[in-house]
Amino acid sequence: MSSSHPLFYGSIVALITPMDNHGEVNYDELKRLVEYHIAAGTNAIVSVGTTGEAATLSIEENVKTILKTVEFADGRIPVIAGAGANATSEAVTMTKLLNDSGVAGFLSVVPYYNKPTQEGMYQHFKAIAACTELPQILYNVPGRTGSDMKPQTVARLAEIENIVGIKEATGEVERVQQIKSLAGDDFIVLSGDDATGLEAMKAGAQGVISVTNNIAAADMAEMCRLALAGKFDEAEVINQRLMALHLNLFVESNPIPVKWAAYKLGFIKEPVLRLPLTTLSEQAQPKITEALSAAGLL
């Protein structure tokens, strides 16, 4: 892991945002989730990323949820703020609003829907990095954004001092080596794909920003700890037990399945999501129940 940023490694949860029946953020449940992750050994929390329903929270709600997460964490676990947007000006605004909030850094997604060129992506992240001294983690997830940030662009961005890493969610394990060879070994690569996360760590990734971690935090923490220690066979045992979860938590758009799983396990009282996302369909529910059983969680 990077000596300059020892915060970003291991098992990092892409935290769900719990909501009440009216679709308002439930801060009591959020506090409980933070405590769960601290107790389970999670290495860091991403607050209000994709899994946290950033797209349907207002800027004010985004900021408040992140501030509350920092407050509940109380210095015991680093909190990374999801502060991406597909308008550069909005991403800059979010970043500035959280600059003095106590967050450890920012996770910023490739702009979605408007499909910028590689140069556009470069200028977007350069502008965000210029408005903060805190570390930035890039986030490449073509399946959701419609655009793929190429390793060459990542390497250009890695030259900017406070751009320290990337959440790479293509699921293409060879990307890890490509990025490392172009951007340098101290540039942090984190897998954003649970199903291939351990393979990415074998290839040199420093950790996983994980959806599965929401409901299997201790297992994910132990798997990543073993992998970082080079004990891949032991890590694989845990990974295989969780594989049905890694895969089935995406049977419908994330975070639909993981919110239902968190509800099923009693982490949250209601599996409420904001429209246009809806609760997990009845036909998909048995798949999640089976995966939870296979993982030894039910």
Backbone angles phi, psi at 255, to 5 degrees: -100, 30
Residue bearing tokens 């409980």: 32
> By 3-state DSSP, what share of the chain in percent is helix, strand and coil, each rounded to 5?
45, 15, 40
Structure tokens belonging to residue 70: 């920092």
173 Cβ neighbours under 8 A, 6+ residues apart: 196, 199, 200, 202, 203
Question: Rounded to 10 degrees, what is the CA torsion of 52, 58, 60, 65?
Answer: -10
Residue bearing tokens 């599965």: 212
* DSSP notation for 208-242: EEESGGGT-HHHHHHHHHHHHTT-HHHHHHHHHHH
**Is 128 annotated for ligand binding?**
no
**Is 209 annotated for ligand binding?**
yes
Integer angstrom CA distances of residue 156 from 90, 124, 125, 135, 191 = 23, 13, 11, 16, 20
Distance CA 180, CA 166 (A): 11
Q: What is the b/e burial string over 191-228, where b = at least 16 CB atoms within 10 angstroms of the residue's CB?
A: bbbbbbbbbbbbbebbbbbbbbbbbbbbbbbbbbbbbb
Do 177 and 145 meet the contact criterion of CB atoms below 8 Å apart?
A: no
Active site residues: 139, 167
Structure tokens belonging to residue 148: 């793929």
Query: What residue numbers does the annotated binding site for pyruvate cover?
Result: 51, 209
Query: What residue numbers does the annotated binding site cover?
Result: 51, 209
